[in-house]
Structure 1
Amino acid sequence: MNLYSSQLSFSLLVFGWLSLLAMLIWSLRTAPWFKVKDDRGAQNIWLFVSLAVFLIWQLGASLGEGITFHFLLMTLMTLMFGVQFAFMGMLLALLGVTFYSDLGWWSLGVNAILMGIVPIAITQGMLRLSQRYLEQNFFVYVFFNAFLAAGIGVVVALLLGGLIMGLNEVHSFDYLAQQYFPFIPMMATPEGFVNGMLIAAIVALKPEWLCSFSDDTHLKGK
């Protein structure tokens, strides 16, 4: 989902930027900087994943102006780095996409909401729900926190994107009903599968890369 600033109303663009700035200020003030301040390895991993997200976002399948489908991978970033660093990594990737795709800098806020804030919030919310109500083990972590959260996140983000396009008359709702909305459920399984497989691989090979995972809680304790 790559929306151009020329497609959107001024009030929506302002709302997007205010939301972006509020989230950025909150992230900068509350991020656990002490965990990465002197950890060059963690910094390199964060930068590498952010760059990978940028490259993947460049490879989306386009069905027309503003209608682009690609993996978000925000669940992966949230489970690896936490909400604050996931948001900052997303913003770094989105800055690159906005520049190279000439989306217009005014659209940065709205795209950040759709491609970052919404799926990050859903992932974090489902993580909190699982920690409170579900048994903590490997399968819950991979299938609920990764696979299901990623699938729901991309569906909600795309639905909101379609609503924005319809209300801003980027495309008519009739056109979106034929050329956009039917494809949304088809994105849920691939998004969930990719995030779930990557998280499972990291659990097996480098569990210390996941700030939300604990051997004692998810493996040894169950």
Structure 2
Amino acid sequence: MLNYWQTLWSSLDWHWQLSDVLAAVTWLVWLVIVWPKDDVYQLKGNAGLRQRLWGGTLVIFGLWALDASIHPQLHLHFLALTTCMLMFGWRLATFALIIPSLMFSLLVLEQPWQFFAYSLVGVCLPLWFSFVLYHRCFHLLPHHLFIYIFCGAFLNSALTILVHMLLWSGWLLLSSDIPLSDIIDNYLLVAPLLMFPEALLNGMVITLIVVYRPQWLYDYCDRTYLWQK
């Protein structure tokens, strides 16, 4: 076990560049802006929520660890960001996913300084997009259980992983020497193949939670989606 950690430590690339520092500063500013004061207060007095939060972060990292590396900086894996957003709210989910992002940067990317960029571009901004899309669906579409599951979870997660891949591609174009042709051929063209299973995963999980544990969802209410018809 000790040899494993020594090998891992020696394999880490600790080099950094100006873009990494800018990402770190922007990431810190973002966290200050979205600090979930009310959610943290609720978290302190809710042991069940704390258990779900820790369990959720563990499951998320397990999903991210099932990674198909096609390039040292181009990775394909499930995200489940929409499920986290629907369970914990996007602000609390932003902070909960710091640990999986850090572990992903250390164990998969093997570039600790990439943590800030990946957490900001690959997690925080797609989470915010997922919330905005869910918010628009809630206000513009009828309050129906099918719409909650299909639009809020299934379609939302498919578009969220697409946004994740587009943002990460943009970051790599600006901060690395990877050619655009390589990003398109080896990464973006795979997006349609990843969108459906990502949507299916999130949609099925949210469906099961709605049926068996609706109280686990952040703002779901039977009165809103089932009773007032």
TM-score norm. by structure 1 comes to: 0.90
Aligned partner of 2:80 among 57, 67, 73: 73
1:190 is matched with: 197
Once the two structures are TM-superposed, the CA of residue 5 in structure 1 deviates from its matched residue by 7.2
Cα 1:29–1:163, aligned 2, differ >3 Å: closer, same or farther? closer
CA distance in 1, matches of 2:101, 2:173: 23
CA contact (8 A) 1:151 1:192 kept: yes
Secondary structure at the counterpart of residue 142 of structure 1:
helix
CA contact (8 A) 1:58 1:97 kept: yes
Cα 1:113–1:103, aligned 2, differ >3 Å: closer, same or farther? same
CA distance in 2, matches of 1:29, 1:177: 36
CA distance in 1, matches of 2:14, 2:151: 35
Cα 1:164–1:221, aligned 2, differ >3 Å: closer, same or farther? same
Identity %: 24
2:59 is matched with: 52
Cα 1:29–1:56, aligned 2, differ >3 Å: closer, same or farther? closer
| Greater Cα offset, 101-110 or 207-216 | 101-110
- Unpaired runs of at least 5, structure 2: 1-12
CA distance in 2, matches of 1:122, 1:113: 12
For residues 22-65 of structure 1, give each alpha carbon's deviation from its aligned partner in whole angstroms, at most 9, with x where no partner exists.
23223435342332222111100010001110111111111121
CA distance in 1, matches of 2:125, 2:178: 22
2:147 is matched with: 140
1:7-46 matches, within 5 Å, as 9-10=17-18, 12-28=19-35, 30-46=37-53
CA distance in 1, matches of 2:14, 2:222: 45
| Greater Cα offset, 56-65 or 30-39 | 30-39
Secondary structure at the counterpart of residue 137 of structure 2:
helix
Secondary structure at the counterpart of residue 63 of structure 1:
strand
Aligned partner of 2:110 among 98, 103, 107: 103
CA distance in 1, matches of 2:154, 2:110: 30
Aligned partner of 1:155 among 145, 154, 162: 162
CA distance in 2, matches of 1:165, 1:187: 20
TM-score norm. by structure 2 comes to: 0.87
Aligned partner of 1:178 among 182, 185, 208: 185
CA distance in 2, matches of 1:122, 1:144: 14
- Unpaired runs of at least 5, structure 1: none
Q: Which residue identity does 1:97 align to in structure 2?
A: F
| Greater Cα offset, 180-189 or 202-211 | 180-189
For residues 148-175 of structure 1, give each alpha carbon's deviation from its aligned partner in whole angstroms, at most 9, with x where no partner exists.
1111111011012222223334421122
Question: Comparing both chains, which one has the higher relative contact order based on Cα–Cα distances under 8 Å and sequence gaps of 6 or more?
Answer: 1
| Greater Cα offset, 39-48 or 107-116 | 107-116
Once the two structures are TM-superposed, the CA of residue 9 in structure 1 deviates from its matched residue by 4.7
Larger radius of gyration: 2
Equivalenced residues, count = 217
CA distance in 2, matches of 1:152, 1:110: 20
Secondary structure at the counterpart of residue 68 of structure 1:
strand
CA-atom RMSD in angstroms:
1.9
